[in-house]
Amino acid sequence: MPPSVATSDLTKRFPGITAVNRLTFEVHAGEIFGLVGPDGAGKTTTLRMLAGVLSPDGGSATVAGADIAREPEAAKARLSYMPQRFGLYEDLTVAENIRFYADVFGVSREEREARARQLLDAAGMSPFTTRSAGKLSGGMKQKLGLVCALIHRPLVILLDEPTNGVDPVSRRDFWRILYSLLNEGIAILMSTSYLDEAERCHRVALLHQGRMLYCETPVELKRRLHGAVVSIVGHEARRIRAALGGAAGVLNALLVGDGVHLVVDDAGRRIPELQAALQTAGLVFDRLEEIEPTIEDLFVAATSKERKP
């Protein structure tokens, strides 16, 4: 069976920057594939090219068997694209938005009603069909976007940070719907900057400045990070990093929102040493503990290794 999405050296340049640089990957039917990376890594640009709304400058890509450069309209009939910014009509109701996208793809009335009922139930949105899309919460909006994207049974769905700013309950609904689709043979390509979401993907591609660093399963990706992450929460983050950045066993030190993340070779052995070092230096902190690596930790470890080959 040919891949649902296949790119080969896909490239997009904007004035002064190569947003996507020779990207090559494949997504298969029944697979959730994650594009992971910080802002500016090229995730959105990649998805836009695959959705046929942006022309590539080099390389090629096929979506559901159609070449996106030569026959973009054929690809568009078989894919659904959910942009990062809410793309539905806020002045239309939930049901009217669904009807519009169903009509655009020529879905029959019976099919639309059955499919919408099933999807809305799964999304927990059945009571809200007559509500204006603009009056929905952020999570509801994203779930409605997914319902509209799925109403015509596409072969490939492209989701750009679909759960950004979405409450945990809605995120759970969202993922339940995504998994239920896999039986239908859909290929799902999504971008995310959340690591916990990247872990739910079958495979992820880690992007940095338009280039792919790794493309593998989340387990393999995490194995890239040698050691463990220790989080130190405190006000004097900069001084803490300065004091511990060069300590024994510390591979990497990263400033985060509420403190510092240290990548260490052995958490059990280093945590007491770090506590002692901070006390000696007279630095106060609120909490010091081992945590699950975040996407940032992985990313920093990966890019720093890349810088020092």
Binding range to other proteins, per CB under 8 A, among 104-112, 211-219, 249-257, 284-292: 104-112
SS3 label, residue 144: helix
Taking the complex as a whole, how short is the minimal distance between the CB of residue 240 and other proteins, in angstroms?
A: 41
Q: What is the dihedral of CA 82, 83, 87, 93, to 10 degrees?
A: 30
Structural contact between residues 135 and 86, judged by C-beta atoms closer than 8 angstroms: no
Given 34, 59, 83, 218, the residue binding other proteins (CB under 8 A): 83
- Mark the segment that binds other proteins (CB under 8 A) among 72-80, 208-216, 233-241, 243-251: 72-80
Residue type, 91: D
67 binds other proteins (CB under 8 A): no
* 101 contributes a contact to other proteins by CB under 8 A: yes
Smallest distance, other proteins to C-beta of residue 91, A: 5
Please state, in angstroms and rounded to a whole number, the distance separating the CA atoms of residues 24 and 273: 44
User: Which of the stretches 77-85, 198-206, 269-277, 288-296 binds other proteins when contact is defined by CB under 8 A?
Assistant: 77-85
153 binds other proteins (CB under 8 A): no
Stretch of 87-95, 170-178, 181-189, 250-258 contacting other proteins, by CB under 8 A: 87-95
- In DSSP terms, which residues pair with 263 in a beta bridge? 229, 252
**Pick 162 or 293: Cβ nearer other proteins:** 162
Return the SS3 of 110. Answer: helix
Alpha-helical regions (H) of the chain: 43-50, 72-78, 94-104, 109-123, 138-150, 168-181, 195-200, 218-223, 237-244, 267-281, 295-307
- Taking the complex as a whole, the smallest distance from the CB of residue 57 to other proteins amounts, in Å, to 13
Whether residue 302 contacts residue 293, with contact meaning beta carbons closer than 8 Å, is answered with no
Q: Does 112 bind other proteins (CB under 8 A)?
A: no
CB 202 within 8 A of CB 33: yes
Minimum distance of other proteins from residue 103's CB (angstroms): 3
Binding site for other proteins (CB under 8 A): 48, 51-55, 72-73, 76-77, 79-83, 85-92, 96, 99-101, 103-106
